[in-house]
Amino acid sequence: MVRDIVCGMGVEEDDPSTFVKSLEGKTYYFCSDQCMLPFMRAPDDYIKTKGKETEMVKDLVCGMEVDENNPPFTSVNKGKIYYFCSNSCKREFERNPKKYLK
């Protein structure tokens, strides 16, 4: 079972009715041509830049991983940027940065 990255539906890789498209050495599966066509038109919109292209940074307060390119909350301390998952983590950090900066 694989996921149609356009509609999110689960599709069977070996089902003859599944639409298959290879792109940059990767294979993508679609439930219908209605899903495959928009993907072929703008694959980047559907291929999430997960893995090495996305830098994950750690929220120092709760330890959660936060996407550096799209952080929910940031705080600057002594010229360095810190990333937080929520406003409460950010506030906790700003209240006592020494506790989190080693």
Question: Token pair of 94, please?
Answer: 């700003």
- Which listed residue (19, 36, 59, 60) binds Zn ion by CB under 5 A? 59
Measured from the CB atom, the residue of 11 and 54 that comes closer to Zn ion is: 11
Helix ranges (DSSP H) in the chain: 33-41, 43-46, 87-95, 97-100
4 touches Zn ion (CB under 5 A): yes
Smallest Cα–Cα separation from 36: which of 26, 48, 46?
Answer: 46
- Stretches 13-21, 23-31, 45-53, 68-76: which one binds Zn ion (CB under 5 A)? 23-31
- Stretches 17-25, 42-50, 70-78, 81-89: which one binds Zn ion (CB under 5 A)? 81-89
Question: Token pair of 51, please?
Answer: 């893995």
